Amino acid sequence: MTTLPPSESASNRAARRIVGRDSAVRRGIEQRFATRRARRRLVIAWSAVLVLGTVLTLAGRLQDALGPAFVIDGIGVKLVTDPLPQFLVAGALGWVLRTAVRRVADLPDEDIDERQIALRDRTYLLAYRILATAVGWLLLAAWIVADASATRIVSASVADWIMSDALFVIIPLLAFLPSAVLAWYAPDEVDDGS
């Protein structure tokens, strides 16, 4: 029987096991998404969740304001209006994206080569330009809808969507767009034999 040093408690052993499992999961994700093609598929899935979720949420809010859009056998079919599932799925896919590019994104400049530094800096600049454009368009839409709501052209529920549910799109963009752009442009990982 192996005896443990008296200073190591059960909670420390449990913490080491959790860290070991977390590292194994991260290594598995990095290996699974080592190719540009696999990472691009992941970026497309993440983007599709954001776009489709936004469209369904907006359509559901319009349906709430205007009544059922589809009637089957006299029963109105309600579209999904809750943005929370979209937010959770986008967050999970974003975490996988972040983990897939973690090596280039997180390491200090001293630990990666000049090519990787240039790639990281270039993709982060592009990501923030995309983000600024997206936020600008959302603010313009919010201003137009708020003005239309004040003049009773648009219902209050649609204006509420623009003002509140849009955060469920902005937060994943803020958190994961730089990783998505880096994943899209990064070349295939090369196994250096170490």
Sequence-distant (≥ 6) Cβ neighbours of residue 168 within 8 angstroms = 53, 57, 83, 84, 86, 87
Q: What are 16's two structure tokens?
A: 């080491």
Look up residue 23 and give its amino acid.
S
Write the pLDDT tens digit of every residue in 155-164. Answer: 666 666 666 6
Q: What are 6's two structure tokens?
A: 């008296």
Q: How far apart are CA 183 and CA 40, in angstroms?
A: 7
Per-domain residue ranges for the chain? 36-185
Q: Taking a C-beta distance cutoff of 8 angstroms, is the pair 113, 180 a contact?
A: no
Q: Convert 67-92 to b/e letters by CB count within 10 Å (16 or more is b).
A: eeeeeeeeeeeebebebeebbebbbe
Closest CA to 40 of 88, 86, 97, 92: 97
Closest CA to 186 of 100, 75, 63: 100
Task: Say whether 77 sits in a helix, a strand or coil.
Answer: strand
What is residue 81's predicted lDDT score, i.e. its pLDDT? 63
Q: How far apart are CA 49 and CA 177, in angstroms?
A: 13
Look up residue 173 and give its amino acid.
L
Q: How far apart are CA 163 and CA 145, in angstroms?
A: 9
Sequence-distant (≥ 6) Cβ neighbours of residue 112 within 8 angstroms = 103, 104, 120
Write the pLDDT tens digit of every residue in 111-129. Answer: 888 998 999 999 999 999 9
Write the pLDDT tens digit of every residue in 38-69. Answer: 999 999 999 999 888 888 777 766 666 565 55
Write the pLDDT tens digit of every residue in 69-116. Answer: 555 554 555 556 677 888 889 999 999 998 888 878 888 888 888 998
